[in-house]
Chains A and B, each alone.
Chain A
Amino acid sequence: MHKRFLMALLLSALPAFAATDNQWFLAESTLTYHVSHPLHQTEGVSHAAKGKGVCHAGQCEFLTAVPVKSFDSGDSNRDLHMLQVTRGGQFPMVVVRTRLPESADASTTIHADLEVQFAGQTVKYSQVSFRQVTQGDEIRISGTIPATLSDFKIDPPSLLALPVKNEIPVRVEMTWQKQK
């Protein structure tokens, strides 16, 4: 009698021990690129990123995409020039893929290997560190991707014969929510 009761209890608990897949979606985002020129410091901001994360068997894959033309530097002429220089007419999206262990959501700092597709090039950035703050089913991450123009084979634009700096760091601030 006791054995049968225990078996029934164990069997009913099995589903709880089975691995469940988690899904995440990007609720909010602010991506900011920074371009330096001796006469100008320019920042372009986008809030138009879309993202999704799928966790399976302890590994999570995240995909984020943002349209190149969604970046706003405050000057439409400059934005159109940026679009031309980054081949945004032909490659309209910036796509970022990364894989993280599911346990990473417990840390305050994560180090992610990113695969970035931009301007027709695919570049890998290793161990990019991001700060992470967890609030219930929401995770806020922030960090900077150390991108450069040469990584993506972009000719540096110039003003008055002076080119911009090669470094174009991209500041990332994102809020991911667990899908219920």
Chain B
Amino acid sequence: MSRKTWKVVRCVSVLAVSLLCSTQLEGQIASGMLSGTVTDPSGKAVADAKISVKNVVTSQSAETQTDSVGHYNVPSLTPGDYEVSVSAEGFSTNVSKVTVAAGAKQSMDFVLGGALSLGDLGISQDQAQGSAQDQARLNKRSHMLMLHQRLGLIDTIPLVATVIAGTGAGGKSTSSSDRYLHLALGSVTGDLYFLSAYYAIRAPKMPGEPVRGEIRWHKALAWVHGPGMILTPILGAIAFDEKSKGEKVHGIASLHGPVAIVTAAAYGAAILSVTFKF
């Protein structure tokens, strides 16, 4: 072989060797490693736990076991997404996902859960899993009933004031300012009352839930003060008209006072029924 030929052969050989080395080097840099520790819920190391690492794309898998101190090591993993499954006798299987980067030493620890699950107790997935919708409904119900409660409590102030002002507005009194004050306070009472009632009536009901306990009294008393809060201003308007004409309050209008007292008493009892335990 001539000198020239030898030179060419040498160059090609050097190129080939360097290419080969760089490919091997690339291969060495590209693979990753996964390691970690497996423990039980109390923190104790789990020996001989089986670790299975499966590439999600290629389905290639590698398996290993933890040593006496619960440590495992899975080298030479091609970069990518993996599903890691850890199982041991007496424990439930733990499956997790991990992404292994090129040349990276990934660490992933596992805490194995107990062998028992809710299914072992005869509790189905549906029973164990709640629903955000149900919770939202409960939240709306509680919020509206909270508004009902607050408005109802605030309304006791103008209610009591209306009753007190009523003593000056009725009977032998001829003062129109007392009548107008009683009318104004009564209007505020009525407005707040019906606003409070709106929230109670429109609060979501929970289907299949029977009504039990003190709340039954609270709901029953609403059938007294509810119609009373409608009848009282009607009778009051008639009485106001008669008084304005200088007449003595008579006939059906004379029931305004007693109906108002019964209404106020039922209202107070309704509040007490959900405040104290009797």
Contact = CB atoms under 8 A, between A and B. Distances in A.
B276 interface: yes
Contacts of B276: 39-40
A40 B276 CA distance: 7
Given A65-B118, A80-B141, A160-B275, A91 B123 contact: no
Q: How large is the interface on A (under 10, 10 to 19, 20 to 34, 35 or more residues)?
A: 35 or more
Contacts, number: 110
Interface stretch (A49-57, A104-112, A165-173): A49-57
B130 A91 contact: yes
Interface in A30-84: 39-40, 50-52, 54, 56-57, 59, 61-63, 65, 67, 72-78, 80-81, 83-84
Given A50-B122, A63-B121, A76 B127 contact: no
Contacts of B211: 76-77
A84 B142 contact: yes
Given A75-B215, A80-B206, A88 B130 contact: yes
Given A61-B114, A75-B213, A76-B212, A50 B121 contact: yes
Interface size band for B: 35 or more
Contacts of B135: 84, 87-90
A87 B142 CA distance: 12
Interface in B123-140: 123, 127-139
Interface of A: 39-40, 50-52, 54, 56-57, 59, 61-63, 65, 67, 72-78, 80-81, 83-85, 87-93, 95, 97, 99, 113, 115, 159-160
Interface of B: 41-42, 89-90, 114-118, 120-123, 127-139, 141-142, 145, 153, 206, 209-215, 218, 274-277
